[in-house]
Structure 1
Amino acid sequence: MSDVTTTATIPPQRTVATTSTTSIFSVIQRITPGAAAWVIALLLFFPIFWMTITAFKTEQQAYTSSLFFTPTLESFKEVLARGNYFAFAWNSIQIAVGVTVVCLILAVPCAYSMAFFPTKRTQKVLLWMLSTKMMPSVGVLVPIYLLWKNTGLLDSVSGLVIVYALINLPIAVWMSFTYFAEIPRDILEAGRIDGASTWQEIVHLLMPMSVPGLASTSLLLVILSWNEAFWSINLSSSNAAPLTVFIASYSSPEGLFWAKLSAASLLAVGPIMILGWLSQKQLVRGLTFGAVK
Structure 2
Amino acid sequence: MTFLGLLVISYFMILSPVSGADLPPHALRNIAPIAPSADFHIPGASLTPMLLAEWETDSRMGKAIQIVWGKEAVDKAPVTASRYQQKTYTFPTGAIRVLDFKKDTGGMVHAITTETAIFVLKGAGRVGVAGQVIEIGEGDAVNYPSGVLRGEGDATILAWTTTGTLNNEASKAMVIRAGDAKINHSAEWDVNGKRIRANAPDDLANAPTDAIRLTVKRYDFPGNSVRVALSKKGGPTSPTTGILDSLIYVTSGHLRFFQGDKVIEAVPGDAIREIAGEYHHWYRIEDSSFVATSSLPIQPFTQKQP
Which TM bucket (shorter chain)? Answer: under 0.3
Quick one: higher RCO (CA 8 Å, sep 6+), 1 or 2?
Answer: 1
> Which structure has more strand as a fraction of its residues?
2
